[in-house]
Amino acid sequence: MLTITLADNARDRAAVFVIRGAVFVAEQQVPIEEEWDDHDLGADHLLARLDGVPVGTGRLVERDGEGLLGRLAVLPRARGTGAGAALVRAIEDRARERGLAAVELHAQTHALGFYEKLGYAAYGAEFLDAGIPHLHMRRPLP
């Protein structure tokens, strides 16, 4: 069973950073000093659990009346279970609760199809973030 909750205590926050470390730092070789940033302090962090075990995370940062979805990470053993899409939808729900008009994200180019299926549209030029090609994507919230 997949559940998603706000990571609002120390134990859940620790799980968020363990997952991000495993996916971004260990798997994708993102330098740790680039993976953690000042946005982490004020962001809403969500935690996905599969059968009670933490398997994924994502964060919502509020910026100029819109949400910035970021640091979406799902552990390899949980990929293909729907955890990533469920995290995106939960972050969108959180953005709606905050009265935000849209959600933007910076997608790794290999993940464009994933986000397009969820209603996001790419715009602008490709750019590098931590040495990985990305595109801006956005979805207005209904």
Does the reported pTM lie above 0.75?
A: yes
Q: What are the sequence ranges of the domains in the chain? A: 2-140
The CA distances from residue 139 to 5, 41, 44, in Å, are 22, 24, 19
72-107 pLDDT per residue, tens? 999 999 999 999 999 999 999 999 999 999 999 999
Could you identify the residue written with the tokens 């000042």?
A: 38
Q: 2-140 falls under which CATH superfamily?
A: Gcn5-related N-acetyltransferase (GNAT) (3.40.630.30)
Give the 3-state secondary structure of 23-79. Answer: HHHHHCCCCHHHHCCCHHHHCEEEEEEECCEEEEEEEEEEECCEEEEEEEEECHHHC
Q: In 10 A of CB 89, how many CB atoms?
A: 13
- pLDDT at position 96 is 97
What long-range pairs does 109-114 form, CB within 8 A, spacing at least 24? 109/133, 109/134, 109/135, 112/137, 114/84, 114/85
pLDDT tens by residue, 61-78: 999 999 999 999 999 999
Per-residue pLDDT reduced to its tens digit, 3-61? 999 999 999 999 999 999 999 999 999 999 899 899 999 999 999 999 999 999 999 99
pLDDT at 142: 85
